[in-house]
Amino acid sequence: MLEEQKPSNGEELGKIQFENEIKRIKLSMEHGFDYLPVSDSPPSPEAESQWLDHIQQFEDSFKNCQKIAIYDRIGRPRYQKVNEISDEEISNELDKVFELLGGNAICLDTICDVPERELYRFITEELFQYETDDIAMEGMVQHYIYEEFHPNHDYDIRKSCTELIDGLLDKERPFNLDYLGMTDEVKLNGSQYELKELGVKMNMFRNAFDDFTLLRYKIVLINIRTRTADVEIDLKFLGILEESTEDLVFEGKGKFRLKHQYDYWHLSALDLPWFDC
């Protein structure tokens, strides 16, 4: 965090502002870095000077850095192989390697639950061998996520399907298919639509009601293949009209097809019978 210094007199401020301009030009010429201060709350010249120095240090380090294995980065410590550790000891040994990583400004997270033994194996057999930029700066932490190396396809598929249903029935937020991980063309109940056309059709359905109440949502089947996946859901919700005394009930099975493209699962076909009502 940048530390604000006491206000300087006008002459000192002018000198710092001139030096900051030189620093910005240097960054632009050497690294192609264009910096535009935020106009509504610009930093003080002193704070900006510190920030520009930090950027210059980072850019210089990055430009000249070499690759280094994480195991070398943390000092090549001794550790037990995963098959040598008993079930009773695995938690303690996992804590030790996490401490080693944290002590060297390296953070590993998981999105889903990962068994401790698998996590230990991953760290010692894969992450330790992973090559990274040999940059060490105060306050800089390198973050890694287990699922970036070992994707959890079941989780990602469930998330994509659930986000679509949540977005469709949440009237407090705008519904935009661009942010829901879909292919450029999507089938809805057998008919092909461009993504924009599909968004118009689904928003027409949403706009016909004042609100929705979700009564049941369950993924009952996931069939994952190499590049495609089929999902079946069981869904029941109410379409609420403020001027009506009776809510409309929508209930039945829905189906999704997803394609695996660019390391992500994208919805490519929807079978949602209530859109034919």
Residue 2 in domain? no
Unique residue bearing structure tokens 């079930």: 87
Asked if residue 157 and residue 272 are part of one domain, the reply reads: yes
58 occurs within a structural domain: yes
Report which secondary-structure segment, H or E, holds 239: strand 228-240
Out of 149, 171, 195, a domain closes at 149
Residue 139 has a pLDDT of 74
My answer on whether 243 and 131 are in the same domain is no
Contact between 60 and 22 under an 8 Å Cβ cutoff? The reply is no
In a domain, 243, yes or no: yes
pLDDT at 178: 86
Q: Please tell me the predicted confidence (pLDDT) of residue 1.
A: 43
Q: Which of 44, 64, 84 is the last residue of a domain?
A: 64
What is the model's pLDDT at position 243? 86
In this predicted structure, what is the pLDDT of residue 237?
Answer: 96
Domain count, the chain: 3
Q: Is 134 a member of any domain?
A: yes
* Confidence at residue 277, expressed as pLDDT on a 0 to 100 scale: 54
Q: Which stretches in the chain have pLDDT values below 50?
A: 1-2, 4, 7-8
Q: State phi, psi for 176 to the nearest 5 degrees.
A: -130, 115
Residue 56, domain extent: 11-64
223 with 134, same domain?
A: no
Q: Are residues 164 and 272 in the same domain?
A: yes
Q: Are 135 and 236 in contact (CB under 8 A)?
A: no
